[in-house]
Amino acid sequence: MASFKYNFEMNNRIKEIRIEKGISQKMLANAVNIKVPNLSKYENLKECIPIINFNNICNYLEISFDYALCLSNINNFKKPKRELDKKLIGERLKSIRNKNNLYQETLAMEIGTSKSLICEYEKGKKLLSLPYAYAICKKYDVSVDYIYCKVD
């Protein structure tokens, strides 16, 4: 598993926004097609939110990824133009890696994963997981919204 520490602040912000908007856990869970116990685990810091669920929650609450992850105090939410696209996300990941003059193996070591998984992400075979995206963004000062093609 990854050697970096997962930032659970994002769950607190999601919960705060849900409560501010007067949305119950049941309402949110139903709206994004997840089970209430799973949402509760995300909000109570017991589980990492899978990226698909995170995307759906952010879209429903109309918050940007960076805002939800406490990487920004400004909510730059834009209505989604498309669903998460593994290929485009892989291209963004590769461009970030190349911009920082990194080999796949180096990036993998820095975020606590394998070169083969970085390769699968870059080829668009797998969807980049949120903890790895978060680690990349913190280390290389890029936006999670950018990696996931939420902004250009």
pLDDT of residue 11: 58
Question: For 27-37, how does the pLDDT look when each residue is reduced to its tens digit (9 = 90+)?
Answer: 999 999 999 99
53/90 same-domain check: no
95/62 same-domain check: no
3 lies in some domain: no
Rounded CA separation 22/73 (Å): 21
Question: Is the distance from CB of 52 to CB of 12 less than 8 angstroms?
Answer: no
CATH at residue 13: 1.10.260.40
Instruction: Give the chain's mean pLDDT.
Output: 90
Which of 42, 68, 94 represents a domain boundary (last residue)?
Answer: 68
92/55 same-domain check: no
57/102 same-domain check: no
pLDDT of residue 12: 72
Residue 4 has pLDDT above 80, yes or no: no
Domain with 14, as residue range(s), is 9-68
Rounded CA separation 35/15 (Å): 15
Choose the most confident range, by mean pLDDT, from 68-72, 104-108, 133-137: 104-108
57/91 same-domain check: no
106/62 same-domain check: no
| Count of domains observed in the chain | 2
